[in-house]
Amino acid sequence: MPDDAAALRRPVDPREFDAVEFQRDPFPLYKRLRDQHPVFHDRFHNRWILSRYSDIEAAFQDNQSFDRAVYDPNGSYEFGKRHIFGPNILEYGNSPQHRWMRNVVAGQFVGDRLDAFLPIIDMIAREVIATFEQDGEVELVTQFSSQFPIRVISNMLGLPREDEAMFVGWYQALIAGLGFGGEHLARGLAARNEMWDYIEPLIEQRRKSPGEDLLSRIAVAELDGKRMETIEIKGFVALLLAAGGDTTDKAIANMWYHMLYTRPDVFPQVLADPDLWSNVFTEMMRYDAVVHAQFRQTTREIPLHGEVIPRGAGVILYLGGGNRDERVFKDPDVFDIFRDDLHMGRENRSGKYKDGKPGHLGFGMGPHFCMGYAMARQEAAIGCGHLARALKNARPKFAAHEGIVSPSIDSGGFRSPRELWISFDPS
């Protein structure tokens, strides 16, 4: 038997999830999970793992059986106090509060409301690019992608421009605290509290005299005669930094990495036809989505593939694995922006499309389906379009690259290149 085939048949040892190899390249392990253990009971980390497309899709859609919340939002303790985002929409799980809050805010990120924010996205992309476009080289992660989406959010919220750098600083501390314990968490919580102290008076002020900005819209939005409470708005803004900032930031870096290193043969076509950035985005969300894993807790026994996942079990949905499922996608390990077996347009929460093709799992599906799906696509397309025009003859500065990595996939760390140096001809 060839070495590769033997390696793929090796039974999974849960300690492999903690290995550096897995953080660098999780795909061979995902394949072994899909083929040998479609339901894997990881006794070492005390959790269950699903990795096939159809099982992940079913779990995302079945919020009753696979709950997003770990704690009961109606318990007799201060809900969300120790969470870095505070009480927020994700942690409300399958509760009526989740449905109510989602209905209050979801409309702000799509359709006409989103269109009204497009000039801000355009302006910030140009401003950030102007800081390096004469330099002939750029480190994309630090100089562009980790600046652009968060500055967009700050402006959408209508925060004063002179406070933008401070907002970016809180964002960086908060993200560093995400998922990691100790000092990082303490600094992240301190940054969150500072940010909360800063926006609280702004929330009050917007309630009294609302404008067109996102903070005003959220502050006065009403459903069933009720508005969001101040702590709920603060929790939502904190979540927005990670859910809307960090993810889109890393998505842009992943798109450029795959164009420069994985498919340099296709890159000239994308440069010649900027509409293709949308395909690059979609295929990136399938091939190596920023978010590879999501957590759920079972609320009943789940019989599946001859196993029974008990009630109350922690379940990891490896959407990064489902996205490479050969039961759904042809040659899943090929990054192909022209593939005809993937829905290439806008996503939706049902995951069902008129063209009959399956969608990627990168935004989740079902009741917690990403609320920023349309905004992320717009930001990525606008940002990448401006970058491509400004960075003439863009090429990797270094021939070799360590690739896309995840600090630790279960710690909340999102997958992206640590740095990405690009050389170009200054205009």
Site of interaction with ligand HEM (CB under 6 A): 68, 89-90, 102, 109, 239-240, 243-244, 247-248, 251, 289-291, 294, 362-364, 368, 370-372, 375-376
Provide the greatest CA pair distance for the chain.
Answer: 73
- Which of residues 276 and 371 has its CB atom nearest to ligand HEM in the complex? 371
In angstroms, what is the minimal distance from the CB of 4 to ligand HEM?
Answer: 30
Q: Select from 283, 413, 285, 376 the least CA-distant residue to 337.
A: 283
216-73-222 Cα angle (round to 5): 25
In angstroms, what is the minimal distance from the CB of 272 to ligand HEM?
Answer: 25
Return phi, psi of residue 296, to 5°.
-140, 160
Q: Which residues contact 383 (CB under 8 A, 6 or more apart)?
A: 121, 125, 144, 145, 148, 252
- Which of residues 332 and 364 has its CB atom nearest to ligand HEM in the complex? 364
In angstroms, what is the minimal distance from the CB of 128 to ligand HEM?
Answer: 17
In angstroms, what is the minimal distance from the CB of 60 to ligand HEM?
Answer: 6
- Which of residues 53 and 424 has its CB atom nearest to ligand HEM in the complex? 53
- Which of residues 171 and 363 has its CB atom nearest to ligand HEM in the complex? 363
- Which of residues 242 and 394 has its CB atom nearest to ligand HEM in the complex? 242
Half-sphere exposure of 104 (CA within 13 A, CB side): 26
In angstroms, what is the minimal distance from the CB of 89 to ligand HEM?
Answer: 5
How far is it, in rounded angstroms, from Cα 282 to Cα 276?
A: 10
In angstroms, what is the minimal distance from the CB of 384 to ligand HEM?
Answer: 12
- The answer to whether 216 and 210 are in contact (CB under 8 A) is yes
How far is it, in rounded angstroms, from Cα 160 to Cα 228?
A: 23
In angstroms, what is the minimal distance from the CB of 375 to ligand HEM?
Answer: 4
Half-sphere exposure of 292 (CA within 13 A, CB side): 28
CB neighbours of residue 346 within 10 Å: 13
In angstroms, what is the minimal distance from the CB of 268 to ligand HEM?
Answer: 25
- Which of residues 32 and 255 has its CB atom nearest to ligand HEM in the complex? 255
CB neighbours of residue 338 within 10 Å: 11
- Which of residues 177 and 320 has its CB atom nearest to ligand HEM in the complex? 320
Count of residues for the chain? 427
How far is it, in rounded angstroms, from Cα 17 to Cα 23?
A: 8
- Which of residues 332 and 383 has its CB atom nearest to ligand HEM in the complex? 383
Residue nearest to ligand HEM (CB): 372
CB neighbours of residue 245 within 10 Å: 25
Q: Which residues contact 256 (CB under 8 A, 6 or more apart)?
A: 140, 384, 387, 420, 422
In angstroms, what is the minimal distance from the CB of 236 to ligand HEM?
Answer: 7
Structure letter (DSSP) for residue 416 = B
- The answer to whether 150 and 163 are in contact (CB under 8 A) is no
Amino acid type, 154:
S
- Which of residues 376 and 384 has its CB atom nearest to ligand HEM in the complex? 376
How far is it, in rounded angstroms, from Cα 174 to Cα 88?
A: 15
- Which of residues 266 and 375 has its CB atom nearest to ligand HEM in the complex? 375
Which token pair is 156?
Answer: 């959408």
In angstroms, what is the minimal distance from the CB of 8 to ligand HEM?
Answer: 27
H/E element holding 407?
A: none
- Which of residues 63 and 424 has its CB atom nearest to ligand HEM in the complex? 63
In angstroms, what is the minimal distance from the CB of 294 to ligand HEM?
Answer: 4
395-399-404 Cα angle (round to 5): 85
